[in-house]
Amino acid sequence: MSTDNDADSYRLSEVDRLIHEPARYDIMALLYVIERAEFLFVQNQTHLTPGNLSSHLSKLEVAGYLTVQKEFVGKIPKTFLSLTDQGREAFEIYRNKMKELFTKPPGVRKDSENK
């Protein structure tokens, strides 16, 4: 394997795999553009089942990327989700790494960029 391919593989390995999973990406992207969302809203937007959504939320919560707040609205229990500062920063880093990978795809040599 050439050095260029090794460098490309390393760049891809820098992508946050926790966020890169499609369902978790959808959750993070949705919460990135809004301050806080109710569980049912996120479920409807992502088309995940309640159990599947809960599973992904747990992983993101353990990583410190989001908070889950349970409260009553009137007499109805609601679950609200929001990104933490750490989650917001992780998503920004993820977006920037992905932009870089798409701007400079694997196999593009540095010396050919100057042409």
CATH number for the domain harbouring residue 91? 1.10.10.10
Evaluate if residue 28 carries a pLDDT over 90.
yes
Contact yes or no for 12/94 (Cβ under 8 A): no
Q: Which residues contact 104 (CB under 8 A, 6 or more apart)?
A: 113
Asked, for residue 101, whether it belongs to a domain, the answer is yes
Number of domains in the chain: 1
Asked, for residue 48, whether it belongs to a domain, the answer is yes
Query: pLDDT of 55-113, one tens digit each?
Result: 999 999 999 999 999 999 999 999 999 999 999 999 999 999 999 888 876 666 655 55
Domain containing 78 equals 3-105
pTM above 0.85, yes or no: no
Asked, for residue 111, whether it belongs to a domain, the answer is no
Contact yes or no for 90/16 (Cβ under 8 A): yes
Asked, for residue 57, whether it belongs to a domain, the answer is yes
Structure confidence at residue 101 (pLDDT): 84
E strands in the chain: 37-38, 66-73, 76-83
The C-alpha atoms of residue 18 and residue 97 are separated, in whole angstroms, by 14
Structure confidence at residue 103 (pLDDT): 86
Asked, for residue 73, whether it belongs to a domain, the answer is yes
